[in-house]
Structures are given as C-alpha cells and as structure tokens.
Structure 1
Amino acid sequence: MKCTNCDYSNHDEVSFCVNCGERFLKKNNGEDENSFFYEFAHYVDFVPKSERSIQPKFHNIFSRVFRKHSNLEAERLFIVGTALTTPKLSEVKDTWPKPWLFSRVFIIALLIFAGFYIGLNYFNNVNFLPGLIIVGAFAVPFTILIFFWEMNAPQNIAFYQVIYFVFIGGILSMLAALVFFDILKHNTNPIAIGIVEETAKTVTVIMFVRFRKYKYILNGLLIGAAIGAGFSAFETSGYALRALLSGGGPNLYNTILWRSIFAPGGHVAWAALTGAAFCRSKRDRHFKFNMLLNFKFLRVFILVVAMHAIWDSPTLGMYPLVQLFLMVISWVVVFLFIRAGLKEIGKRNLAV
C-alpha cells in the first residue's frame, strides 16, 4: 500500500502511513470505512496475521530487525507507558512483539565508541577516556535492555521510568551487594559471590515490582533487566578503569571487549529472570515475604545463583565455552518466560 501523501510503501494491513502518519481509507464490501484507531501495540499493526505466533521462534521475534524503519516508528515506540498512552488490556495482543529498535541502538553505540576511540588514540586527547569507558560499558547492556523494553507487550512502563530503574536500581543493587559482602566478611568464593550479588539485585527488583501496577511477567522481565543493566554497566566501568591503571590501554580494551561479548548472558538476563519469577508468583497481590518462599520463584533464583557461581568459578568460568553455554541456558529460560508472559496476557484478556 503506497501512501498518497509521501509515496512510502506500507504493509497492506496498516491503517496509517508509518512514514508521515497519513491515514488510509480502507474499503469493506465496496464502502469506505471512516472509523480508524491508533494501536499503541504497534507491532501488531505492522505484522501480517500469517506471521503472528506465540511460539518461541527466532524468525518470529527478529523478523523486523533488517527492515527499513522510519523515525515516526521510533517516536511511537517512546510515547507508550504514560497514563494517556498505555493501551487497555483488551487492545494488547498475546502475540510475539517484533523488536527492532535495539539493533539500531547497538549500531549507534558502536559508532559513538568508535568516535571516542579515534579521539583518544589518534588525537591523543585524554578527555575522550571517560566517554570511551562509559559508552563501552553501557553499549551492550543498554542494547539488551531496549530489547526487553520492546518485548514488554503491556506497554505500561514509560521509557523515562526504565532509565530511572537503570541508574537508581543499578547503584542501589551495588550498594546492597557491598553490605552483604561486609556481613559475610568479604567472602569471595564463587558461591558467596553468586548468592550476594543475585540477592542484592533481587531485593532491588522487588523494591520496584512490589507495586500492583507491575503485575505482569513481562513487567518483571523488563524491570529486572533494567536493574541488571545498571549493575553490569557500573561494574564494567570499574573493571575497565582498574584494567587501565594496572596494564594500560590493551587491558582496558580487552576488559571492555570480553565483558561486552558476554554481557547478554550475565547480570541483565539473570536479574530479568528473577524479576519475572517474582511477578509470576506475586500476580495481582500485594507483596508478602512468603512470596519469596514460592517454589516457582525459588527454583529460578537458585538457577541464577548457580549460573553466577559457575561463571565466576576459577576452574570452569575461565573457559569461554562454559560462559557461552550459560548464556544459552539463560536465554532459553528468558524466552520461556516471554512466552509465559504473552500467554498470561491472553488469559487476562479472556477474563476481561
């Protein structure tokens, strides 16, 4: 369907041009329809019905990554989550969202990092160093966070709130970890590290998702991912600075590179899993401590702690293949939770 206003080619099922916003007149039995609606669940409008599925197939999820998108599409993504733009539950479809913005965010982050690298290494301007560390530390965690934000089908969390969770949740979880380490007399064996850091992030996640507004599994995934992204980026920044002070430039870039490669399977995914598990056990109820004893929550928390402990193990964690295997496990469980979250929305729709 070509737009008569800007000549942009759109999918046949859209009710407005994704480039200029021009509304289309669609015919039904030879008569013009004058009723139009704006679906904030934009991914439903742009995806043909034949592609919709609740099955966890990669081609269903990433089918829009390599398509051309306009600035208008990105702008519509960022307006969701407010009191005026959160769709009703009946308008939310229990189908796989089709995220794409996260890939653009990653490309932009790489270009910015390249700019800082050029300024620091070719022009020898040390003023570029802080930016290089910050962008290098945030690039991958923030990209993964955008993916979780696009997958949040209820679209009830505004982007400014996500940023709040990243910075406030990130620093609170790090401080909580320091408190727990102090209680354990700075015990640094892998099991202790896994328990301490995952407990710190889980406590922080619960602080935010305890409110009844965040009652969906997909909400827990997003908020957990935001806190995990903050924790991961702040930690990487610290390690990068220490690597620079101890071994110079090569150590700095190696630290940023390897921590970025494995960032998708680390703190971001682990915190997302515990957030989703807690929301699944909480449902619409107010927070009570006995929710933490729920078996469905405990088994996910134990799994996360075990993966973290193996990741930090001096014998197993030193092998990249082990970390890659842990990443695969993490994301298999993540996609299972996404599927469960979409099914949850479908059941709630039937109950409405």
Structure 2
Amino acid sequence: MYCHQCGEHVNYDKDNYCQACGAKLEKEKVRAILHSEEISEELSPHRINEKASQNFSEAMRSSFAKKELDRYVGDRRKIKMNVEQVFSEVFEKHTKDEAEMLFAAGTRATTPKLRDIEATWPKPWLFARVFLIFALTYILLYIGINSFNNQNTLPGLIVVGSFAGPFALLIFFWEMNAPQNVSIYETAQLFFVGGAASLVAALILYSIFPVENMDVVGAVMVGVIEEIGKLAIVAYFIKRMNPIYILNGLLIGAAIGAGFAAFESAGYAFRYMYEEGLDSMLEIIFLRGWQSVGGHVVWSAIGGAALMYAKGSEKLAPHHFFSSKFLKFFIIPIVLHALWDMIGWPYAVLLLIAVAWFFIYVMIHLGLKQIVEMHDDEERRRRLSAMT
C-alpha cells in the first residue's frame, strides 16, 4: 500500500503514521476502498484483461504440476497463456508505417504512462520480418561464395548467419516488453556492448576456473560460469538503468544473451571454416542458428527477469542475488545449460527448448501480473487522494 500524502510504501496493518512524511494514515477509508474493490474485483477491467491473458494450454501440465508450479512461483493464480494468440499477427499483413511506429517506441516522447500500459499479452510480428531480412541477405551472400567463389562474401556470410537467429529473437523480446520503455537504440547497445562484455566476463571466469573436459562436472561448470558471466553484465545494466518492470529484466537479459550467442556463433563458424572447410562452417551456422531459439538468449532472459522479480521497484542490492525469488529461477538456466552440453540427442535438445520457453512464458505472466497490480495500486492512490 502507499501513503496518500507522499506515495511511499506503508504498512497499514502496523503503522498509524507514514514513516516517510509523518502523515496520519486514513485506515478506515482504505478499508472501505479495499472492501469495495473486493466486491467489484471480478468486474475490474484489469482483472478481465489479466484473465484474458491467462488462456494457457492445460494439456502442458497435470493437476499436480499446476499446483507445484503455482507454489514454486508464489502465485495462487494459474499460470496460463495462449501461444496461438501471441503469434497471431505474424502472418498478418503489416505496413512499413506500422514497423516504423514500432521502432519509435521507447523514446521519451513515446513511452506510455503506467495507466496506458496494456496488461495483456502482446502480439509480436516484427521479429519475423527481421529474420526474413537476415535470411534473404544470407542467401545472397551464399550465392556469392557458392556460385562465384568470391571470398569477399565470407565475412558477411559468417556474421549474418550467426546474428540472424539471436537478433531476430531479441526483437521478439523487445516487442514483448509491454511497458515499451526501452528504445531500439538502447536494445542495440545492450546487444553489442553487453553481449561482448558478457563474453569477456565468461572468459575471465574460465581463466580462473578452467574446464578441462566436457564431462558431467565440466558441463555443470560451463553452465555456471557462462550464466554467471552473463548475469554480471545483466546486473550492471539493471543497476545503471534502474528499471522497475519484470519485463524490462526479461528484455535486458535477452539482449545480452543474444549478443553472447551471436559473437560465440560467429567464432565457431570462423574456426570450423579455418579447420574443416566451408561445408562444416555452413553446417555449424545452420545448427547454431536454429538452436539459438532455446539457448543463450532465453537462458539469460530468464535470469534477467528473475533478478527484476526479486528487485521489484527497489534499487538493485547484493541481497537480491540471494533472494529465494531470484535463486529458484536462476537455477533453471544453469541446469538447462549444463544438460544442453551433456546431451547431444536431438530430441533431448527439443525438450530443453520447450522447458526453457515454458519458463519464459511464466516470467511474461509474472511481468503482466506486476503491471496489473501496479495499475490497481495507482487506482487506490487516486481514490485515496480524491477522498482526502
């Protein structure tokens, strides 16, 4: 709850006066408002939006699994989504003007106020167009090397092929950022600078904790080292930008994970070309390209969202990294990363991708739920202000 005078958080159960400004708390008025909200809660537009956004596939989880996940997340409400609805705009026709309007989002002039933020599942589509641009560019560069044996197209082929999957996926997370408060310029900065910095952070950790063999212990070490390395850079940008939304953390994590994945894939492609030839390079670009949908991008997105889930509206502090809210989610990308490196079976990789995306949708749900609660808090403050 908030103080009607200064807007600071207060405890209406224990305090009689605001600890920040000293104003007397109007407890009876607050109780009356809360009582009226309980009566009309089912008719609240925000609750209706929330329920509409929770149209999940029930077949994904058993009754026991639903109860366990709800307890794990700390939310009594069901975690639901509608995948078909989220991607419903991908195959619809969109104009150039619509794309330009999207790219204008996140600036000081275009960032919506809290009351104007939609608490429903976004319907991204621009990411698919971005991927098609990368794919067309890749095909043209491939024709240059395959049909004309022009070596000048090789660097472009490596870069475009390695960046296509991670960057297009990043645009998806940028579109899913319902607050629309991070510009494409900031996102690109996170991708390039943050991605390169996270790669260097992981290399520093590898120099301290070298991994000799990719056995079970080695795979776990790789998962821990690389996820912590990326998280360190995610935390830096969260500290600097000081966002308040879980969906912001999801985007920041995805951007840094996408940069890490793109630079790493380009490195692998170059090594395979140098050591084994062009065909091996093309194979590794394709393999890492489609696998990027369930790799570093989504792992870091989960970590970034988990950190914001623990931080909330507070400034980032060391105790947030030891919060159960953070740790119970951050362990997921570490485990998924370790299993990914242990198992080479294709169907197992698909299962790991599905698990990672399930938790991505859980974090998106929590992000939208947070916006609903912020809407409700703002409405309470407005009503309290009107009554005083």
What interval of TM-score do these two structures reach, taking the shorter chain for normalisation?
0.7 to 0.9
Q: 1:209 aligned to 2:238? A: yes
Measured after TM superposition, the shift of residue 106 of structure 1 is 1.0
1:62 match = 87
1:177 match = 202
1:200 match = 229
Measured after TM superposition, the shift of residue 63 of structure 1 is 1.0
Amino acid at match of 1:65: V
Q: 1:151 aligned to 2:180? A: no
Q: Deviations over 1:54-83 (max 9, x none)?
A: 431012101111111011100110111111
C-alpha separation in 2, matches of 1:329 and 1:195: 18
Q: 1:305 aligned to 2:330? A: no
Q: 1:227 aligned to 2:256? A: yes
Amino acid at match of 1:334: I
Are the aligned partners of 2:211 and 2:222 in contact in 1 as well (CA < 8 Å)? no
Q: 1:267 aligned to 2:292? A: no
Q: 1:99 aligned to 2:128? A: no
C-alpha separation in 2, matches of 1:98 and 1:308: 28
Are the aligned partners of 1:212 and 1:284 in contact in 2 as well (CA < 8 Å)? no
C-alpha separation in 1, matches of 2:194 and 2:212: 24
C-alpha separation in 2, matches of 1:212 and 1:159: 15
1:350 match = 376
Measured after TM superposition, the shift of residue 87 of structure 1 is 0.4
Q: Aligned with 2:53: secondary structure?
A: coil
C-alpha separation in 2, matches of 1:104 and 1:73: 12
Are the aligned partners of 1:221 and 1:273 in contact in 2 as well (CA < 8 Å)? yes
C-alpha separation in 1, matches of 2:161 and 2:328: 33
Flag the structure with higher helix content.
Answer: 2
Amino acid at match of 1:329: V
Are the aligned partners of 1:224 and 1:273 in contact in 2 as well (CA < 8 Å)? yes
Q: Aligned with 1:308: secondary structure?
A: helix
Q: Deviations over 1:99-157 (max 9, x none)?
A: 01011111111100001000111111100000000000000101110100000000000
Are the aligned partners of 1:205 and 1:223 in contact in 2 as well (CA < 8 Å)? yes
Q: Which runs of 5+ in 2 are unaligned?
A: 1-48, 56-80, 379-388
2:353 match = 327
Q: 1:108 aligned to 2:137? A: no
2:142 match = 117
Q: What's the RMSD between the two structures over aligned residues?
A: 1.4
Q: Which runs of 5+ in 1 are unaligned?
A: 1-48
Q: Aligned with 2:375: secondary structure?
A: helix
C-alpha separation in 1, matches of 2:82 and 2:174: 19
Q: Deviations over 1:274-320 (max 9, x none)?
A: 0000001001111111110011211222111111111111xxx2111
Measured after TM superposition, the shift of residue 159 of structure 1 is 0.4
1:130 match = 155
TM-score, normalised to structure 1, is: 0.83
Are the aligned partners of 1:54 and 1:94 in contact in 2 as well (CA < 8 Å)? no
After the TM superposition, which residues 277-292 of structure 1 pair with which residues of structure 2 at under 5 Å, given as runs?
277-292=306-321
Q: How many pairs align?
A: 300
C-alpha separation in 2, matches of 1:163 and 1:304: 23
1:191 match = 220
Are the aligned partners of 1:82 and 1:156 in contact in 2 as well (CA < 8 Å)? yes
C-alpha separation in 2, matches of 1:110 and 1:347: 41
Larger radius of gyration: 2
Are the aligned partners of 2:205 and 2:225 in contact in 1 as well (CA < 8 Å)? yes
Are the aligned partners of 2:250 and 2:305 in contact in 1 as well (CA < 8 Å)? yes
C-alpha separation in 1, matches of 2:272 and 2:212: 22
Q: Aligned with 2:92: secondary structure?
A: coil
Q: 1:164 aligned to 2:208? A: no
C-alpha separation in 1, matches of 2:329 and 2:370: 18
C-alpha separation in 1, matches of 2:221 and 2:242: 33
2:97 match = 72
C-alpha separation in 1, matches of 2:302 and 2:210: 28
Amino acid at match of 1:199: I
Going from structure 1 to structure 2, the CA distance change for 1:212 and 1:132 (only over 3 Å counts) comes to: closer
Aligned match for 2:274, one of 245, 248, 264: 245
Q: Deviations over 1:305-352 (max 9, x none)?
A: 111111111xxx211111111000000000111111111111101111
Amino acid at match of 1:210: K
Measured after TM superposition, the shift of residue 215 of structure 1 is 1.3
Measured after TM superposition, the shift of residue 211 of structure 1 is 4.1
Measured after TM superposition, the shift of residue 203 of structure 1 is 0.7
After the TM superposition, which residues 19-98 of structure 1 pair with which residues of structure 2 at under 5 Å, given as runs?
53-55=53-55, 56-98=81-123
C-alpha separation in 2, matches of 1:72 and 1:238: 36
Are the aligned partners of 1:210 and 1:286 in contact in 2 as well (CA < 8 Å)? yes
Amino acid at match of 1:179: I
Are the aligned partners of 1:181 and 1:187 in contact in 2 as well (CA < 8 Å)? no
C-alpha separation in 1, matches of 2:338 and 2:374: 37
